[in-house]
Structure 1
């Protein structure tokens, strides 16, 4: 039986083929060469104010597990609220079929904020790196459960085009792959992408084994200050939060509470 991740990957392969026809690589390369330089997300993370929690705040419309979350949100306006709320970076979902994202959302976010921007997608083709850069991203998500033995290759290609890879893992074997790839930014997903079940204990266990020279980012299922404290106490140095922010009714204020939770 196909998992949700399998279905998403199949969809992305088809979508990327279509994108190659409508936006050839040459066009994307022209946009990149005439556009902005990327922000160094790692250096900014290292200099994030002491006493605050670095949060990658996500622009998210829907998900396979929750359905519609905020289908009519203003991507740029939401991102601007996140920046005012103290976000370290913005994550913007661009996957259209399962998450309701788009490159239009990514472009709107880029125009709205000056902080680092993560291209949040299910990368199955190096073409997506060019797409990410052309539309203003500084970071790109790489999922070990999806890339497997290609993780190292894709990590290096992302760096080559000027993107900072956030390499996502969910178990010890995937973490080993991420570390062997040379990733300095490792996302530990509390959600199993094959079943979409969430367990913060899974993330906490993996985060506790990441060395101090690596930035461990806790992802998924973070809904409260207590969740942040628990994951931070187990080694998380940054947090990717989406659903609880976009569904809060006050993304700026809710984010500020999370960011200011830092205990030094």
Structure 2
């Protein structure tokens, strides 16, 4: 880890200390155990596999590199608009300091949409997996760059115990070792989390080795997702040819001036 990512994870550790003081891990676990089973139709992997768009539409108000996109964006308006426009799944940022989000955004959007919801955050502790399940998320993001392989597997296995799917985010060839049977989807991040520079060509460069890494897994192979820097239908078509079935798009949607008016039509 370095630069921005290192700063974010350090803040996340401090944040978790305060959260555990407010709500103990034991109490959080008890709350989650009392929840009903997840609805089967909210499988993110299955939704992406069968969708005509494959778009994971992201709800975020800001980013560390670009500042505020839409400070007043509402979780009761934009996620339902994404669904009406044809998204296959939703990604909701829950980091407050760097992305302007909260767990409350998932709690707000969840009853208003039928799409699977990804909790997108810097998850480094089992406590955050329980939080995701409690607020209604259907999947969690695990980032290889801020976890060891052992930590990643532990969190992924816990997610499955809690009926959550796992999107593993990788960026470099060295991180392909994180892929195993506990991973449902692999996201190739086109953004360098150290510098936050984005290059969609990273997905095209990495596609051959990524497909080679998952090919021995057969029907259980994780679904491939390209993340960030996607701003046109042509790019998505080329990525699909390269083997990707999911396309995570945030900034191109959140900065569109007619966000609530069929936002996916801009692609």
Both proteins in one fold, TM over 0.5? yes
Structure 1 counterpart of 2:167: 166
CA distance in 2, matches of 1:99, 1:181: 31
Is 1:245 equivalent to 2:253 in the alignment? yes
Deviations 1:6-26 (A, max 9, x none): 000001111111111112233
Q: 1:2 to 1:172 in 2, by over 3 A?
A: closer
Answering whether residue 43 of structure 2 is matched by residue 40 of structure 1, we say: yes
Q: 1:169 Cα shift?
A: 0.1
Residue 101 of structure 2 is matched in structure 1 by 101
Matched residue SS, 2:186: strand
Q: Report what 1:176 is aligned to.
A: 177
Q: CA offsets per residue over residues 107-136 of structure 1, 9 Å max, x none?
A: 111132121011110011110000000001
Structure-to-structure mapping, 1:1-264, within 5 angstroms? 2-38=2-38, 39-46=42-49, 48-49=50-51, 52-149=52-149, 150-177=151-178, 179-180=179-180, 182-208=182-208, 209-210=210-211, 211=214, 213-251=221-259, 252-256=261-265, 258=267
Report if the CA contact (8 A) 2:230-2:236 is conserved: yes
Q: Structure 1 residues 205 and 36 mapped into 2: Cα distance closer, same or farther (>3 Å)?
A: farther
Aligned length: 254
TM-score using structure 2 length: 0.88
TM-score of the aligned structures, taking structure 1 as reference length: 0.89
Query: Structure 1 residues 6, 110: CA separation in 2 closer, same or farther (over 3 Å shift)?
Result: same
Give the corresponding residue for 1:261: none
- Single out whichever of 179-188 and 113-122 deviates more from structure 2: 179-188
> Is the Cα–Cα contact under 8 Å of residues 47 and 89 in structure 2 kept in the other structure?
no
Is there any run of 5+ residues in structure 2 with no aligned partner, and where?
216-220
The alpha-carbon deviation at position 145 of structure 1 amounts to 0.3
What's the CA shift string for 1:125-164, capped at 9, x where partnerless? 1100000000010100000000022222221122122110
- The alignment yields a C-alpha RMSD, in angstroms, of 1.9
Q: Is the 8 A contact 1:151 1:181 kept in 2?
A: no
Aligned counterparts of 1:226 and 1:181: Cα–Cα separation in 2: 32
Q: CA deviation at 1:2?
A: 4.7
Structure 1 window deviating more from structure 2 (100-109 vs 26-35): it is 26-35
How far, CA to CA, are the matches of 2:250 and 2:168 in structure 1? 18
